[in-house]
Homo-oligomer: A and B are copies of this chain.
Amino acid sequence: MPLSSSIQTVGFVGTGVMGRSMAGHLLDAGCALRVHNRTRDKAADLLRRGATWCATPGEAAAGSDVVFTIVGYPRDVEEVYQGADGLLARARPGTVLVDMTTSSPELARRLAAAGSTRGVEVLDAPVTGGDKGAREATLTILVGGSAAAFERVRPLLAAIGRNIVRFGDSGAGQHAKLANQIAIAGTLQGVCEAMAYARGAGLDAGQVLAAIAGGAAASWQLQNLGPKMLSGDFAPGFYVKHLIKDLELALAEGARAGLDLPSLRLALERYRELAAAGGAEQGTQALFRLYGAA
């Protein structure tokens, strides 16, 4: 009997923009879904489609074979897993808990250790690909934790994402995700400054973007966020406040490894400046505002 057919009941904690789409794919795949979210409204569509409402994370874990979580900040992860009616208090032995929040590698290791004392496996499995990737089930899923637990949940991950990679033990998925965010932060700064320069020089920045986007300056950020910068569309996609959280984690972990990462440090400083200027709830392309060109 394939493992996947033995997985019947799946908990899902965190039905924000990303989580809602992901949980929907699990419903489509035939899972019995137990959902919890801080704000019940955001789970309404899933409940209409047959999911069971749970008043606490612990309730979502009760009777579940696997529980997915995707919440905001490491402190939220800690609360969901280790709070009074949290996942670790209620998950039965043999359950696999999968945290898809971009969070701290150190916390991932701590939760996995706490789980193991109760016979519960905890994987870290942050994702990339944004709301579009979540909607279309094309996310990249970056996994850390035991190989056995990974194999058990792989069929469920395959319902959510397309490119699913395990990098090593607990925390390795978070590390891979933070590497991703570091690359993005550097690229974004380059794109903003290139566009600001083009405007400052009196060029048609959109024409410059189109000309250089096919060569050595090409990037996802240039192609997707460059046009938004130039049109003054700063609506989120990916929130500035969340990128700040990720860059803070990356900088702390880099320092722990003895690395000096000045471009990352600069990006964090600039994004904090943007947040202080009222940009926390905007999309990451709003960095362009700091260049006075928008």
Total chain A interface residues with beta-carbon distance under 8 A = 74
Q: Mostly helix, strand, loop or mixed at chain A's interface?
A: helix
Q: How far is the CB of A134 from chain B (nearest CB, A)?
A: 13
Q: Is A97 an interface residue (CB 8 A)?
A: no
Bound Cα distance A172, B202 (Å): 8
Which of B179, B195, B258 is within 8 Å of A208, CB to CB? B179
> When the two chains form their complex, are residues B184 and A190 in contact, meaning their CB atoms are under 8 A apart?
yes
Q: Is A280 an interface residue (CB 8 A)?
A: no
Q: Which of A34-42, A82-90, A261-269 is the contact stretch?
A: A261-269
Within 8 A of B (CB), among A235-294: 238, 250, 253-254, 257-264, 266-267, 270, 291-293
Residues of B within 8 A of A178 (CB): 197, 201
Complex Cα spacing A266 to B168, Å: 33
Contacts of A220 in B (CB 8 A): 215-219
> Please, how many angstroms separate the alpha-carbon atoms of A193 and B189 in the complex?
14
Do A208 and B167 touch (CB < 8 A)? yes
A147 part of interface (Cβ distance < 8 Å): no
Known A-B contacts: A175-B197, A179-B208, A180-B215. Give 6 more (CB < 8 A). Answer: A167-B203, A175-B198, A180-B208, A189-B190, A189-B262, A190-B190
Binding site for B on A (CB under 8 A): 105, 128-130, 133, 140, 142, 163, 165, 167-168, 172, 175-176, 178-198, 200-205, 207-208, 210-212, 214-222, 224, 238, 250, 253-254, 257-264, 266-267, 270, 291-293
